[in-house]
Amino acid sequence: MTSQPYALLEAVSLEVHYGGIAAVKGISFAVEEGELVCLIGANGAGKTSTLKALARMIDASGEIHYRQERLDQLPSHALIGRGLALVPEGRGVFARLTVAENLAMGAYHRNDRAEIKHDLDRIYAMLPRLKERAEQVAGTLSGGEQQMLAIGRALMGRPKLLLLDEPSMGLAPLMVEKVFEVIRTVATQGVTILLVEQNARLALHTCTRGYVMESGKITLADTAANLLADPRVRAAYLGE
């Protein structure tokens, strides 16, 4: 191959249907290497469906290009080995596994023991609360701690592209700030991020670029600064 026609991640005419109902109606978007891109939209806009389609958790039509490879033919469990991780909506920690076991699951596909240990130390240093609770069952963690665990677990897989689905959901403002601090740190470490958020203000202040989704379609795509200034965004998502 001489040219690289696609971005790191590129969705073309992505469609998701539940029974007869279309939740995602043929959207196209791209995320370049090193970017922190956000996808905002109201409840039911189709954000989660989009991420699930990218992670192959649900069937979708259209094309998903990732590092010059078609993802849309691969099973979900083949993705992390290619560097794609998803922190699902509602966190999805394994409640009956300990914190340490959850983190170990994040590195399940890896075989480099020494490096895994190194990454674990790094994550414990970044999220000390997890270290204190390493042997505790994850179901007993607070919501914020579970979100930290879900992100830490995804990082244990050494993703190149991290998909985050509403990491601020259900968290107190202080905890939200902490979570976003972690997200920014991860981004500066070279991980490309696609962030889905309802908290549009926070998301747009964190990202470089953004997409706005409305009932299954992308209605706006621009830099974060332009979206923050856009009167339509201000009216619909920033409460101004």
Partner 1 sequence: MDIFLQQIINGLTTGSVYAIVALGYTMVYGVIQLINFAHGEVVMIGAMTAFTVIMAVVGLGLPLPPALIVLLGVLAAVPVCMAIGYTLERVAYRPLRHAPRLAPLITAIGMSIILQHLALLIWGRDPRAFPQIMENASFAIGGAAISTVQIAIILMSVVLMAGLTWFVYRTRFGIAIRATAEDVRVAALMGVDANRVIAATFVIGAGLGAIAGVMVGTYYGIAHYTMGFTLGLKAFSAAVLGGIGNLAGAMLGGIVLGLVEALGTGYIGDLTDLCRWPLVGGMLAERCEADGHAILFGSNYQDVFAFLVLILVLVFRPSGLLGERVSERA
Ligand X SMILES: Nc1ncnc2c1ncn2[C@@H]1O[C@H](COP(=O)(O)OP(=O)(O)OP(=O)(O)O)[C@@H](O)[C@H]1O
Nearest to 53 by CA among 38, 28, 72, 27: 72
Q: Which of 12, 42, 97, 175 binds partner 1 (CB under 8 A)?
A: 97
Within a 10 A sphere around the Cβ of 121, how many other Cβ atoms? 11
Long-range pairs, 107-113, Cβ under 8 A, ≥24:
107/156, 107/157, 108/80, 108/157, 109/80, 109/81, 109/157, 110/157, 110/158
Which of the choices Mg ion, ligand X, partner 1, none does residue 106 contact, using the CB cut-off of 5 to 8 A by kind?
Answer: partner 1
Q: Among 47, 56, 153, 158, which residue interacts with ligand X (rule: CB under 6 A)?
A: 47
**Of these, 11, 40, 45, 99, which contacts ligand X (CB under 6 A)?**
45
Name the binder of 94 from ligand X, Mg ion, partner 1, none, CB < 5-8 A by kind.
partner 1
Distance CA 6, CA 90 (A): 31
Amino acid at 56: R
CB of 214 to partner 1, least distance (A): 27
Q: Please, what is the minimum distance in Å from the beta carbon of residue 89 to Mg ion?
A: 5
- Applying CB under 5 A, the span of 19-27, 45-53, 139-147, 180-188 interacting with Mg ion comes to 45-53
Interatomic CA distance for residues 16 and 21, integer angstroms: 9
How far apart are CB 237 and ligand X at their closest, in Å?
A: 12
Q: Which residue is nearest to Mg ion (CB)?
A: 48
Q: Which pair of structure tokens corresponds to residue 123?
A: 């994550």
Dihedral (Cα; 11, 30, 181, 115), 10-degree rounding: 70
Q: Which pair of structure tokens corresponds to residue 42?
A: 């109201």
Pull the structure tokens for residue 149: 């665990």
Closer residue to partner 1 (CB): 80 or 193: 80
CB closer to ligand X, 130 vs 199: 199
Residue 81 touching ligand X (CB under 6 A): no
Q: Which residues bind ligand X (CB under 6 A)?
A: 18, 21, 23, 41, 43-49, 89, 198
Query: Which parts of this chain interact with partner 1 (CB under 8 A)?
Result: 55, 57, 75-81, 85-86, 88, 92, 94-97, 101, 104-106, 108-109, 153, 157
